[in-house]
Structure 1
């Protein structure tokens, strides 16, 4: 600690006296003086008189030292060390700095043990000496003292800190950019010095000064967004010429990145955890716009997605540029889907991203929250609002296993935010999986919503893997909460005529129907397992119905559900010519609430159909309280309804029905996904991007564990 203290003192003195012009310190000092220019930022009303007086004293001291041709400083240091015996030993030294412009400097260190060593510079050489050891060493270093010390790591780091501090006090963006420039020169000497040691305590601070200085220095006039563009930017001691290739704004198949918001400025609420991936560069959250909407091919990326991106300013020969005052650099923009590292000075360095900030920013502008109840009552809402029910937060990437999230009743994809944030904060998950979210109008008949899910999954597989050559695409994982679990199950079962038999005792081909109605019934009620679905996760799923769905109030509310137009048309078609052949003629077309009523023939029949061979199934069941699990409930679904035989694992979490963000739920899903990645990696050689071990205790059939 003692070395850091005296080095900091020396750095402050050198910065003020020798580097006033390049750092803008002298200019800053003069501007901070109340007697100087009218551009001086006024002290806040909360400043005390003592603080104002201290600032004035410091300002006068800095201004005087910046102009002084000669001065000396004496620093007394001391510290105590307690020996193992308990005895306290005091150490200390006297350090005298003597400066004479333009090229004379001497440091003498006299320790209390009598030893004497030091450092000197005479405009031609730099030397160190030790009187007690009778040794000395010199190195040629012609020029002024400013030239000798301006680009030392200590000076560069101090100048970065001072520039950033003054930028915050004055609001002047050129000082923010100066902080970024000095920090870059400290981190990346570009052949003009040695980069900081990996354990240098200033290393992380320098990365932050660079990131925040770059972000604040490039803010638009409104102070809300970062302007990613080429230009010539003023610095306190010169200028920075920046180039930028606009092609870097292109993202996904047909989108342009726009409206860059500093991720560090976003305050996150509503999510359990915030995940930052530390590294170099400024983390931003970008919006996207379609480039050619008329010819746009559906890429299944959510239209209002916010993309985590990194902005990196690569400065050419920064230390040489500081000496001349004319610096040049290039802005580099990367999305987290495109790169994890950047190469600088023959080193691959991690890029900094803030995916949680981008996710929260997206949710704050989303219409999903207000659409949850509307989607329950209005069966055609999604069809009006969007072309597909399946959406991702990033473009499709071959070799990554798709995980499909399917929400429950009167809910939306936003309910998966916490578990998605936690899982994708794990590089083992992020590097081996890709997430898609299925959204549907939850009041519709379950078989109809399941048919929409099946169509969406087939469309994705057909578009991105038409020949079935991507092993990861052919091994999807589906996860459904509540009603969503029933939709997921219908992707992994073979029903034969069992579901149709709950509707009619007459074969489908004997009914009088239009071709459109017949196709809809065939798709909805005669189900076969999708060949690319290999693992399913049921979360709080009412396999035998929900006792809440059987209540009078719920059924009264369900009367206000408006079914989709094509369902109503098919229902009219069926009933008009076949009423005597149908079992539902008296009750009319069912809603999802009808389907999930425990006494309903549909849910009773679906419960008897097992998951198809070759598909691994897992149950996550929520139970409230401390009573017997078998008699428990999550407030909506009883344990006895959520439990099914034949699953590969079952875990019970202590939670209410909305158990998606429960820590036990998150960890169980993580375990299941890592197991899937391990199997796929072993079988095919994909999903092997990071080595990992799976804590896989729950692998036997009907295994049950309880998580609090």
Structure 2
């Protein structure tokens, strides 16, 4: 909608019947700005006059006053962004001949200035299949990006691409001086969801999709995921657990674990839905895992466990936060298998699938023994209270045995410390390894692909490891039409569906089932169920 049509819409509502002393000045400055008479100065003045009018107009004229304030703010910010190409910081600044005061109101320290800002409506929603979440209200929705705060103790838990937040902006007059420059407010709408103007409390406009969509435009993870699988090491340097928002000691962590050769960007539609639904945004915080998917399955599980340990040691070293007992795991494909094993007790099942003697009887370096002990022996990760598995090959995948799988498997994962430890142990203890696995260990041919093959001994043993009784888990699987065997093209339906699941959903989909609207809706349903069973304490 053009500026003229927006102005006509406001003029055609209640503006003409508004009290002259409240809205005439607003209309005058809007017309000056529209006519091109120093438009930036005029839109700023229009926004200030509309702000003042909001405090005094009657209820019939309030909507028109808010619409004019928002229009003026949007037009002013558009002009400011066109003329000011640097970052935005709190304090006085001059753009051309116009001076103003910039205030960062309730903006968290994890979004340090200078900020890059963009009108939310200008950020395309391609990453979310066109789905934008937000609401109308007072102010103009913005997306903001900034660099990381290097001095923050939790900087290791922040995405390398920088911080992002959805903000709300408006322009208001100085409360103490008529002669003071206009005040441009950038506010975080999360802590305080209303603006107080006079005796009125107005819900803030918000857009919960734009900042993440903009951040995704600038992320390089997508092109690095597969490269990390077949020889690149950039994903390895980025590996870890990342908070996409500020830590909240009350909210349930929703820990998202991607699949083979993939990255956290696959969860864009799910994260968008969680942030877009008010009840879910109030109850869940989005955490995402980046991990090397070229390593053996059990090593991948151990790595994710270590990332969780590091995060909790930084966020809640005393273990007193309510959030620490409420985590929900969300895993796709290989990530789903990792998630299931994080909920399981290994006992001696995995060790006996690989070794013929106890750990203490192996002739090996202490460091190697510690590595294999941690790989093959584990208990359910503390604090996980639910899991959702999507397109997960719990019983293996025939695709891992295809020609492509074998060719890729030959170049994947031979450089990891876990593989080297197994190799050294096999060289010194050949009679202690199951004969079927001995050549695999000796040649270092154990990796994420080989450990997903249906007949692989360790994978067969891992298949039997399930969450404890009473632990709720859910499966979501895809099926493509016209396949002789029900499958999503990668994982057979019989491998993706688990007995004992609290719920199972099969949708018409390929392997990227996490992108299907029906699957996203099912995740939303499950999270609401979890929230109802885990009420927040006051």
Match of 2:81 among 215, 219, 231: 219
1:596 pairs with 452, 467, 480, which one? 452
1:624/1:611 Cα in 2 relative to 1: closer, same or farther (>3 Å)?
same
Change (3 A) 1:229 1:394: same
Alignment match of 1:401 (pick from 249, 252, 260) = 252
Per the alignment, in what secondary structure is the counterpart of residue 306 of structure 1? strand
In the other structure, the counterpart of 2:170 is 312
* Superposition pairs of residues 539-578 of structure 1, within 5 angstroms: 539-578=390-429
Any idea what SS the aligned residue of 1:587 has?
A: helix
Matched, 1:267 2:119: no
Residues 104 and 185, structure 2, Cα contact 8 Å, conserved in 1 = no
User: Aligned in 2, Cα 1:228/1:263: closer, same or farther, shift over 3 Å?
Assistant: farther
SS in 1 for 2:285: strand
1:205 aligns with 2:80: no
| Structure 2: distance between partners of 1:524 and 1:307 | 38
C-alpha deviation, 1:393, in angstroms: 1.2
Q: Which has the higher helix share?
A: 2
Which segments of 5 or more consecutive residues in structure 2 lack a partner in the other structure? 1-7
The offset of 1:669, in angstroms, is 0.7
SS at match of 2:329: strand
Label 1:9 to 1:564 Cα distance change in 2 as closer, same or farther (>3 A). closer
Listed as ranges, the matches of 1:335-484 within 5 Å are 335-378=188-231, 380-383=233-236, 385-386=237-238, 388-484=239-335
Which is higher, the Rg of structure 1 or of structure 2?
1
- Where in structure 2 are the equivalents of 1:480-629 lying within 5 Å? 480-583=331-434, 584-588=437-441, 589=444, 590-625=446-481
Cα distance between partner residues in 1 of 2:88 and 2:103: 16
Q: What is the TM-score of this pair, normalised by structure 2?
A: 0.88
What is the correspondence of 1:270-309 to structure 2 with a 5 Å cutoff?
270-272=127-129, 273-293=131-151, 296-298=153-155, 300-304=157-161, 305-309=163-167
Q: Any idea what the Cα deviations from partners look like across 1:529-555, whole Å, max 9, x if unmatched?
A: 012001000101001111111212211
| 3-state SS in 1 of match to 2:514 | coil
Q: 2: distance between equivalents of 1:371 and 1:502? A: 34
Contact 1:622 1:654 in 2 (8 A): yes
Q: 2 CA distance for matches of 1:336 and 1:248?
A: 8
Paired residue for 1:129? none
2:14, 2:153 → 1: CA distance? 61
TM-align CA RMSD: 3.2
Match in the other structure for 1:86: none
Which has the higher mean CA deviation after the structures are superposed, 483-492 or 505-514? 505-514
What displacement does 1:246 show?
A: 6.9
Q: Which runs of 5+ in 1 are unaligned?
A: 15-147, 687-708
Cα separation, 1, equivalents of 2:145 and 2:47: 25
Higher strand fraction: Structure 1 or Structure 2?
1
Alpha carbons of structure 1 residues 670 and 468: separation in structure 2 relative to 1, 3 Å? same
Choose which of 16, 22, 42 in structure 2 pairs with 1:152: 22
Cα drift, residue 245 of structure 1: 5.5
What is the CA-CA distance between 1:311 and the residue it aligns to? 2.8
Q: CA–CA distance in 2 between the matches of 1:174 and 1:333?
A: 19
- Describe the shift of the 1:515–1:257 C-alpha distance in structure 2 as closer, same or farther (beyond 3 A): farther
CA distance in 2, matches of 1:203, 1:473: 46
TM-score (norm 1): 0.68
